[in-house]
Amino acid sequence: MIKIIIKQFLYGRLYCWIKEKLSYFAGFLITILLIVYFHSEFIKFIYNTNTEKNSIVAISYIIKNLLILIVVVGYYYFLFFINNSEKKFKEKITKLKHYKTYNKIKSLDYFLREEEL
C-alpha cells in the first residue's frame, strides 16, 4: 500500500515537473526528428543518383550534426532564459499584489487636513 502511494506521489511530481516543459520539449524533439528525416532522405537521393558520393555525404553529415548542435544549444538557451523571465514576472506580480493590498487607504481622512475635518 505504501509503495503504491509513494509511486503515485512520484508520478504526480514528475508529471507536474514535465507539464511545464512539455511544449518546449515537443518542439525540440520534432525539430531533431525532422533534421534526421531530411538527412536520411538526402542520403537516399545521393545514392540513387550517380554523383560524387564521398564528399557530398561527408558534408551532409557535418551539416546535420551542426544543425542538431544548434537546436540543442538553442533549446537549453531559451529554456534557461524563459524560465528566468517567468520567475521574474511572477515575482513582479506578487510584489504588485503585495503593494496593492497593504498600501490601501482606509478612508479619505488621510488626505484632508485637520481644519477640513
pLDDT in tens, 101-112: 555 555 666 666
pLDDT of 43 above 80: yes
Q: How far apart are CA 4 and CA 10, in angstroms?
A: 10
pLDDT of residue 101: 55
H-helix or E-strand spanning residue 108: none
Phi, psi of 44 (to 5 degrees): -60, -40
Q: Which of 20-24, 76-80, 84-88, 99-103 has the highest mean pLDDT?
A: 76-80
Q: Which 8-state DSSP code applies to residue 109? A: G
Q: How far apart are CA 96 and CA 100, in angstroms?
A: 6
pLDDT of 42 above 80: yes
pTM of the predicted model over 0.85? no
CB 57 within 8 A of CB 43: yes
Q: What residues contact 82, with CB distance under 8 A and at least 6 apart?
A: 24
Residue spans of the domains in the chain: they are 2-76
> Tens digits of per-residue pLDDT, 84-102?
777 777 777 777 666 555 5
26-54: average pLDDT: 86
pLDDT of residue 64: 93
pLDDT of residue 6: 77
